[in-house]
Chain A
Amino acid sequence: GENVEQHPSTLSVQEGDSAVIKCTYSDSASNYFPWYKQELGKRPQLIIDIRSNVGEKKDQRIAVTLNKTAKHFSLHITETQPEDSAVYFCAASIGKAAGNKLTFGGGTRVLVKP
């Protein structure tokens, strides 16, 4: 089955700096790659996603890039703010053929220092 690895496990940045989280996946049939943000004690919430027919997607300070050949995708957060402190999870899915199941990475705890 699909295996998703996520690095780093923790990331500390100064407010205003950029943060980058990287994930690799094993199943070349994966075609949907969401990123979730989870604040302490809360539910995971989707912040951005990308499909395999797109190489990059941006939404304000957040961007995701996908390299299908290398089977890796990354989350980029620019101009980080204290409210960006949370745990971020990447995931991969082969879509409807497998019930839209998601395989999650292990998470990255991001701390933005003021």
Chain B
Amino acid sequence: NAGVTQTPKFRVLKTGQSMTLLCAQDMNHEYMYWYRQDPGMGLRLIHYSVGEGTTAKGEVPDGYNVSRLKKQNFLLGLESAAPSQTSVYFCASSSHGGGSETQYFGPGTRLLVL
């Protein structure tokens, strides 16, 4: 049982390049989330999903797209990377049952945009 995993762990992009971050969970969770964490700041929600085939915007969605084609996977895409998107990206998942709000985080992806 690996929990929540993320690939890649680290990536360097040039401005304008695109990439996709992959999040996978093996806990059969309905809900999945993408956050970004900037130095000295808390986590800010980018997009989230309440089930396979659904996505919704969070607090800072601009410049990002997401897809949830399979229940266990949640993809975060950057179509044209900008230096402002340099950050650490965390994926998380949670169950949808009552009293099961706990979010479990992946190890993070460190992204540097030059």
Chain A positions within 8 Å of B, measured between CB atoms, are: 1, 6, 32, 34, 42-46, 49, 51, 89, 93, 95-96, 99-107
What 0/1 readout, one digit per residue, does chain B (33-46) give for beta carbons within 8 Å of chain A?
Answer: 10000001111110
- Chain B interface, >50% SS class: loop
Which residues from chain B contact A101 at a C-beta distance below 8 Å? 33, 45, 48, 58
Which residues from chain A contact B101 at a C-beta distance below 8 Å? 32, 34, 49, 93, 95-96, 100
- Chain A interface, >50% SS class: mixed
CB closest chain-B residue, reference A43: B105
Known contacts A1-B59, A99-B50; is A44 also within 8 Å of B41 by CB?
no
Known contacts A43-B90, A89-B42; is A99 also within 8 Å of B105 by CB?
no
Known contacts A99-B56, A101-B33; is A44 also within 8 Å of B98 by CB?
no
Q: Given known contacts A43-B105, A93-B101, A106-B42, what 17 new A-B pairs fall within 8 Å (CB)?
A: A1-B59, A32-B101, A34-B102, A34-B103, A43-B90, A49-B102, A51-B99, A89-B42, A96-B96, A96-B101, A100-B94, A100-B103, A102-B33, A102-B43, A104-B42, A104-B44, A107-B42
Residue B61 interfacial (CB < 8 Å): no
Residue B74 interfacial (CB < 8 Å): no
CB closest chain-A residue, reference B40: A107
In the docked arrangement, what's the CA distance between A95 and B98, Å? Answer: 9
Known contacts A100-B96, A104-B44; is A43 also within 8 Å of B108 by CB?
yes
Inter-chain contact A102/B59, CB cutoff 8 Å: no
Which residues from chain A contact B104 at a C-beta distance below 8 Å? 46
Chain B positions within 8 Å of A, measured between CB atoms, are: 31, 33, 40-45, 48-50, 56, 58-59, 90, 94, 96, 98-99, 101-108
In the docked arrangement, what's the CA distance between A107 and B42, Å? Answer: 6
Inter-chain contact A45/B103, CB cutoff 8 Å: no
In the docked arrangement, what's the CA distance between A48 and B16, Å? Answer: 41
Which residues from chain B contact A44 at a C-beta distance below 8 Å? 43, 90, 105
In the docked arrangement, what's the CA distance between A99 and B51, Å? Answer: 9
Which residues from chain B contact A93 at a C-beta distance below 8 Å? 101
Inter-chain contact B96/A45, CB cutoff 8 Å: no
